[in-house]
Amino acid sequence: MIGGHGYHYQTQVATKEPTWVRYVLIVVAVGFMFVMLVIPLLAVFYEALKSGWQLYLASLTESEALHAIKLTLITAFIVVPINAVIGVAVAWLLTRFEFKGKQIVTTLLDIPFSVSPVVAGLMFVVLLGQNSWLGGWLQYFGVQVIFALPGIVIATMFVTFPFVVREIMPLMQSQGASEEQAALTLGASGWQMFYRITLPNIKWALLYGMILTNARAMGEFGAVSVVSGHIRGQTNTMPLLVEIAYNEYNFTAAFALSSLLASLALITLLLQQFLSYQQRKKQLAM
């Protein structure tokens, strides 16, 4: 903040650039995003709809496609709330407590970002497959993990786990614990403090992290591809069915499912922008 006003890059003499530099940067940035993002997205919708709405809808309502859509939504429905709860707990731990190994735990959060999803899927196959000790024990009790819904959920949870934590932690660190300590001093219990102080303060970041988790859960391919076994009509999610349809030259079905995934991504983007707007409005009102 300078003189009670926000810092504006172009208004400062030391950082002010010529007008032509600004326009060149705008053209380069917008042009790159248009070529790399907008045109491919429009191409997907064009290929999906070029054969007509009737064939498009028929591709989405075919039994195998409906099962893939259902499986994708069920997976996201399970993964998002679990990762939200665990994400809040981990963020609370790392921002409110000091303990030995804290830096190691913080570093471990980035493993799903650094490890290939395919490798993650293989890890769970080795750990929970029928030939493993744990997988064989679960199989003995009639619980199949790999090549079934539980394996898909576990693999998806692994690749989406960091999103909620990474959204909440910076906010909790910047806010500090003064309000929470004041609530405890005034006689609030731990749960009262959480529901009345902590949760309202992090709600927008939490929702933002949940939206990102949902988007990644529905679009995950690598880890799910390994643990699902590609059993047609049983363990294929939408991304997996897109690959199968494309490899079988069923381009209409492949692009129809791709357009549905793209539409869900656009809805996610709109929700993200709405939450960002609400958060900015709240900050301005304070």
Q: pLDDT digits over 66-97, tens only?
A: 999 999 999 999 999 999 999 999 999 999 88
pLDDT (0 to 100) of residue 10: 60
Q: Are residues 62 and 44 in the same domain?
A: no
Beta bridge partners of 5: 2
Q: Which residues of 33-53 are buried (b: 16+ CB within 10 A; e: fewer)?
A: eeeeeeeeeeebbebbeeeee
Cα within 13 Å of Cα(96), Cβ side: 17
Residues 40 and 79 in one domain: no
pLDDT of 2 over the 50 cut: no
Domain presence at residue 35: yes
Same domain, 265 and 148: yes
Same domain, 173 and 63: yes
pTM: 0.85
Q: Which domain holds residue 277?
A: 51-284
Rounded Cα distance between 126 and 114, Å, is 19
Residue 236 and residue 170 share a domain: yes
Number of structural domains, the chain?
2
> What percentage of residues in the chain have a pLDDT greater than 90?
55
Q: Where are the beta strands (DSSP E) in 114-163?
A: none
Looking at the structure, tell me whether residues 42 and 74 fall in a common domain.
Answer: no
